[in-house]
Structure 1
Amino acid sequence: MTRQRFSSVWDAISDTPQEAENMKARAVLMRAINDRLDEFDWSQSTAGANLGLTQPRVSDLRRGKLGKFSLDALMDIAKKVGLTVELKITVDEKCGA
């Protein structure tokens, strides 16, 4: 059995490089949102009321349930907690296109 090396856990668990990049972006965004929620010290019900989410949805966010949130949904939540997202695009030299 040979061992594979991956750049990140997302690369290891994703079926495609595209899925891995999406998961990486969602994870970074979710972490930043949770950091802001920690700063606000809101209860889950208060966070839900302020963000237009149900308490169970806030619970999923706080527990890092990445698969339950699209990148679009996380972008919307980020804006509501005062975060601005900057996108950095680089060329992947390994891409054969």
Structure 2
Amino acid sequence: MTKIETFDSVWDAVADMSGQAASLRARAEPMRPIAAVIEGNDWTPSEAAMHCGVAQPRIDDLLRGRVSRCCLDVLVNIATAMGRRVHVELQAA
């Protein structure tokens, strides 16, 4: 019989180390509201890229939920270009 592993979050399941899981989680959090702004403005990926000052493939990765291909500093820059502010909070584990 195979033992079934359980995890606190999907990020813990897909990452090899807790630091990697934390990084994936931190990047995923701003991706959802950024995608919502893009969809709320009815921007195509090329329009969103133009508004945000990034290449269209970055927007495509963001909209497809490819967390591993999005880096936090670029997500902060995109949010800022959209007139949004990103807040980072440290919490006790």
Q: TM-score range by the shorter chain?
A: 0.7 to 0.9
Determine if the alignment matches structure 1 residue 4 to structure 2 residue 5.
yes
Task: Please give the per-residue CA displacement for 1:38-79, whole angstroms capped at 9, x wherever unaligned.
Answer: 111111111111111222222122111112111111111111
TM-score (norm 2): 0.87
Aligned to 2:24: 23
Partners of 2:12 and 2:18 within 8 A in 1 = yes
Q: Percent identity?
A: 36
Where does residue 59 of structure 1 map in the other structure? 60
Counterpart residue identity of residue 27, structure 2: R
Query: TM-score, structure 1 length as denominator?
Result: 0.84
RMSD: 1.3
Partner residue, 1:41:
42
Q: Distance in 2 between matches of 1:20 and 1:57?
A: 21
Once superposed, which parts of structure 1, at least 4 consecutive aligned residues long, lie more than 3 Å away? none
Count of aligned residue pairs for this structure pair = 92
- The one-letter code of the counterpart of 2:60 is S
Shift of 1:19: 0.7
Gaps of 5+ in 1: 93-97
Q: Flag the structure with larger Rg.
A: 1
Q: Structure 2: any 5+ residue segments left out of the alignment? A: none
